[in-house]
Amino acid sequence: MIQGTASGVGKSLLAAALCRLFARAGYRVAPFKAQNMALNAAVTADGGEIGRAQAAQAAAAGVEPTVGMNPILLKPEPGDRSQLVVLGRAVASVSWSEYARRQPELLPLVAESLARLRGAFDLVIIEGAGSPAEINLRDCDIVNMPVARLADAPVLMVGDIDRGGVFAALLGTLDLLEPHDRARVAGLIVNRFRGDAAILASGLAELTARSGVPVLGVVPYLEPGLVPAEDSLDLDDAPRWRMPGSLEIAVVRLPRISNFDDFEPLAAEPGVRVRFARSADELDGADLIVLPGTKSTVADLQWLIASGLGEAIRGAAAAGRPVLGICGGYQILGRTVNDPDRVESTASSTPALGLLPVVTTFVPAKTTVRVRARATTASRLFAAAVGTELAAYEIHAGRTSAESPSPFTIVERGGGPVTAPDGAVNAAGNVVGTYLHGLFANDGLRAALLSALAARKGIAADPRWGGRRGDSYERLANAVARAVDLAAIAKLVGLSFPKS
């Protein structure tokens, strides 16, 4: 099991690396996280919803993700509530106290999911959440040390040196653990180190002497984008400067932004800058304005209007600048968002930005499905990709009726053939909405969009756009393999590395 001194210290990244490394050594490996709180989600083959990090870890391990790899997912909502997703299905909207009362019935589901994985795989890489030393949450923790006890798993404790205070964070975490849990910590890992590792030698020696736990690795600060971002904290840390001569894509930083990993393939392209805009002036100079997915369409729509961003987006669209809405962003671009059953808000109907001729109505049943689709001739943003088949997925509660051509035609839904329109385009062709997440992971569509933006800007398209970047999990695994003691880590669970 991999635990950490705090959120965002690199647990998900290291779990993905170990999934790939042990799979590469010949073992069947699966990831597991009992409870995840995240707005980046993925869809399994059977239409279940799990945390994006566990789907990425499964991809690193070379296995198909299942709901059992993340049996409990909490998706934050307005008013200190969260949507509770259990074994891939949304079951309730809960406060923290309501969730805590449900935990006795949820823990057996965690145990059953973990037992199934352990029966089917040689090795399960378990990820914790936040810190196991949150002493105020000790009685209602079902993701950190209780899971380590359930699995009788040795624990690797990760600290982030880039944010400072890593020695105090590791020692303090160990000190706050109960003795029987502290005894499970079998190794320490220092993550995100920049510079000469020799500088750390004296500190690492004292850390080991004080804790009695060996340091099993110092992982360097790695290139971004090796695994999909999971926490919106990553966006708040993202630099926002502009790059002269580049394509500028401004993604509106909605308060409840979800599935923002949609834009990582664009950000990885040469000469493309993806920035997250928090104010109207940050939309200036953008070659494309994107309204991303959101867990709470109405609340984020109201914030958009109040912040002045809504009017700025209307102005940009009227001036002919490209505007793209994905999922909740698509709903916001429409005329009205109706919620007669109060699925998401207290308002029965809310006027939207009015940039697309569509009306959305929320219904209790949630759509979570993988699809295949083709670009149509309706939008010049994707004109160069017309007919190209692409893989995507949907996660939304609303049903949207459109009175316009659709930029995509869905040809397969949940593994079965269909012919269904998706999305909408305005009369001028510069405003586009779609329910399809994961669009830009498709090389041809990504290149088509960037080429269209370049032509509009009057710059040359980069011939490298849309090219395959190689396997990022291999790069991650190779970097981590150089930095940690894999033989010692394998020995903790009775395995050899590499497999003999």
Give the per-residue pLDDT at 197: 84
Give the per-residue pLDDT at 497: 83
Q: What is the mean pLDDT of each run of 10 residues along the chain (500 residues)?
A: 96 97 97 95 96 96 98 92 96 94 94 98 97 92 96 98 96 98 98 92 97 97 74 51 76 95 93 95 96 95 96 97 98 97 90 98 94 95 93 95 95 96 96 97 96 96 87 94 96 85
* Helices 52-61/11-24 angle, 10° precision: 20
Kindly report the number of other CB atoms within 10 A of residue 405's CB atom: 16
Give the per-residue pLDDT at 235: 53
Options 19, 180, 396, 437, the catalytic residue: 437
Structural domains present in the chain:
2-226+473-492 (3.40.50.300), 246-457 (3.40.50.880)
Is residue 152 exposed (0-12), middle (13-18) or buried (19+ Cβ within 10 Å)?
A: exposed
The residues that bridge with 409 in the sheet, in sequence order, are 374, 421
Give the per-residue pLDDT at 233: 47
Give the per-residue pLDDT at 464: 94
- Return phi, psi of residue 6, to 5°: -170, 175
The DSSP code for 127 is B
Give the per-residue pLDDT at 344: 87
Structure tokens at 56: 């990425």
First to last CA, the chain: 23
19 among known catalytic residues: no
Give the per-residue pLDDT at 230: 61
Contact 115, 152 (CB under 8 A): no
b/e per residue, 57-93, with b = 16+ CB within 10 A? bbbbbebebbbbbbbbbbbbbbeebbbbbbbbebeee
Options 19, 140, 327, 396, the catalytic residue: 327
437 among known catalytic residues: yes
Handedness of CA 345, 349, 354, 360 (dihedral sign): positive
State how far the Cα of 499 lies from the Cα of 24, in Å rounded to an integer: 9
Give the per-residue pLDDT at 467: 87
State how far the Cα of 419 lies from the Cα of 429, in Å rounded to an integer: 23
Contact 319, 430 (CB under 8 A): no
Give the per-residue pLDDT at 243: 59
| pTM higher than the cut 0.85 | yes
